[in-house]
Amino acid sequence: MREAHELERAVGMEYYASDADGTGGRLRDAPGDFRVTEIEDFDVQPADADTSDYPWLVVRATLTGWDTNDFARSFANAVGMSRERLTWAGTKDRHAVTTQLFAIRDLDAADVPDVRNAAVDVVGRAGRGLQFGDLAGNEFRVVVRDPEAPGQADAVSDDLREFGNGDVATPNYFGQQRFGSKRPITHEVGLAILRDDWEDAAMAYLGHPTEYEPEDSQRARAYVEDTRDWTGALDEFPGRLRYERTMLHELADGGSFRDAVETFPSNLQRLFVNAAQSYAFNRMLSERVERGLPFDEPVAGDVVWFAESDAPEGVARPDPGREQRVTESRVDVMARHCERGRAFVTAPLVGTETEFAEGEPGEIERSVLDELDLEPSDFDLPGEFDSQGTRRAVLLRPDLTVEHDPLTFEFALPSGSYATVVLREYLKTSPLEL
């Protein structure tokens, strides 16, 4: 087992699936080097549909250098509405060219604003906003700049085929950006919330400086940790740290630590607990690697989900309504289903309704939660923080092609999976280069 980078280990990704040396290189030298296009799975009516039945305007936006949340804020400001009236199915990174759907409540097609570095086209209208399940997946085209050993891509692919029993495959980890690339703390905030420690949650976000962020940010975080002087900290925190500054204003005005955490938009509040779930999931997958359990087929005790029968072409994804608990007598049968892409071994994103696996997989799930001092009932939380939990496939099988000049990867992934989880195996470099 090849140990991962220290920043990856900090978010539960302990190992690589491939032992071969990487290509090196950098991603995202320019936004056009990293292109992401949603594989859409959302019913839309014509743009002239009755707005009383279809109050949501649906647009397709191609964004250059935009984080999804930042674009939504600018779009909302341009038309004078709350950002909460915009919905989308998946969050995209700003260091890319991305194409995705947005749904906007009570907006006329004629009122779509011009936003810099964004091409926005009206698609139609819908009866509801977009949700996570409305995204089938994403297609990626990624160029690697200045690789030291581009030929190593073939050796990595060979290793990943061995891991996937014939198919290029990787563990379905949550990628670094789920937790913060330079300062991976969103899961720490979430874990504190789950432990009902709102002070620790607020300070995890405001404090905890790291060597990977700008020096003025490090100084500001160190100041607030040392002094708890909220008003003085407003003079220290640079303007770009707007979420931190909003929290500090709340605390300076006498608000509680919980009030400060709840100044975040609702989707970001959910992200904290989601990140804690993701961290526990990554830990479970790393433990599965360490114990030598397979990812492409089940062992006795595993929980398997069958594939969705109506998923869009090219994207296989598990159906939560078709679950099978694998007994000793069913291992071989379920292994054949997994081999043919008809079923997926899963691990839990823990929530209030989580039921653990049995056997060794169940031991892994329980031991990780014990180490984190968590149990499913801890996810019974107020407001946006509550989570019932779900399960997630442990293996990714990207249909991947590699070009060598320049080194370019093309592949598609189901929604909720991370391109960097595939690419980290090939580059084997700092996640800050991904």
Catalytic residues: 93
Residue 368 near residue 405 (C-beta atoms within 8 A): no
Distance CA 410, CA 404 (A): 12
Q: Which residue has the tokens 């904290």?
A: 272
- Residue 362 sits at φ, ψ, to 5 deg, of -65, -35
Distance CA 121, CA 105 (A): 16
**Apex CA 385: angle with CA 217 and CA 212, to 5°?**
20
Residue 100 near residue 68 (C-beta atoms within 8 A): yes
Tokens, residue 146: 């200045």
Residue 215 exposed, middle or buried by CB count within 10 Å (0-12, 13-18, 19+) = exposed
In total, the chain counts a number of residues equal to 434
Burial 218-239 (b: 16+ CB within 10 A, else e): eebbebbeeeeebeebbebbee
